[in-house]
Amino acid sequence: MKYKRILLKLSGEALMGNKNFGIDPERLNAYANEIKETASAGVEVAVVIGGGNIFRGIQAAEGGMDRVQGDYMGMLATVINSMALQSALEGLGVQTRLQSAIKMEQICEPFIRRRAVRHLEKGRVVIFGAGTGNPYFTTDTAATLRAIEIEADVILKGTRVDGIYTADPEKFPDAQRYETISFSEVYEKGLNVMDLTAFTLCKDNKLPIIVFDMNKSGNLKRVLSGENVGTLVQF
């Protein structure tokens, strides 16, 4: 495999599958199987998953709710998704650990960097829940921060689109996909890869990003094998 330790970032919305809300068991199990196959190949896997299928703090703020309160509610939504993914993985016989940036001892460990790294070294899949534990930061930023802390080789951003395009491919069918692109080009072209805080963290810490279609079976393994899947953001 091309990478030894990865941080896989999944969107909460992707867990909805064909539903309008919540978690689609079929999509959840598909993701769990992909992660199991990756971990079985000897890759150390950490995961951050969003909460948008349950609650988005920024949308609540737009509706008049206190932004800080809304963001904390969003963090709890990510813990629900993380618990669901943990259950799906353990159902497949994969050893996992769920670490949360907000203390909730009955259901998960607190985030401790050294402990997380030790779990990874032992072959356990580590899921990081509750974002950064602070309002005003997205799960993209949480994923980047955790990836830097555990010294991951790459962030894999699993989406429903197979990479970064010159324009939104769902709106512009003639949009062209980039195979590789530099951080500077992303800035210059105003492309939407991650929120700016997360993207800048990656750039400053020389952490490459691969954006790929997680919903296509086998894509995660193809990315890790070095195949030309998705778009690589590099220096």
- Please write the tens of the pLDDT for every residue from 36-56: 999 999 999 999 999 999 987
Asked if residue 60 has pLDDT above 90, the reply is no
CA–CA dist 166, 27 (Å, integer):
28
Continuous H helices in the chain: 25-40, 57-62, 67-91, 113-121, 139-149, 183-189, 196-204, 219-224
Range of the domain at 216: 5-234
The number of distinct structural domains making up the chain is: 1
> CATH no. for residue 138?
3.40.1160.10
Asked if residue 20 has pLDDT above 90, the reply is no
Span 78-98, average pLDDT? 98
Span 140-148, average pLDDT? 98
The amino acid at residue 180 is T
Which residues are paired to 6 by β-bridges?
A: 45, 154
Q: Taking the complete model, does pTM exceed 0.85, yes or no?
A: yes
Q: pLDDT tens for residues 108-126?
A: 999 999 999 999 999 999 9
Span 213-226, average pLDDT? 93
Distances in Å between the Cα of 52 and the Cα atoms of 22, 130, 198 are 9, 13, 17
Which residues are paired to 159 by β-bridges?
A: 213
Per-residue pLDDT at 176:
93
Among 47-51, 63-67, 174-178, 227-231, top mean pLDDT goes to 47-51
Closest CA to 51 of 139, 145, 159: 139
Higher pLDDT, 81 or 60: 81
Per-residue pLDDT at 209:
97
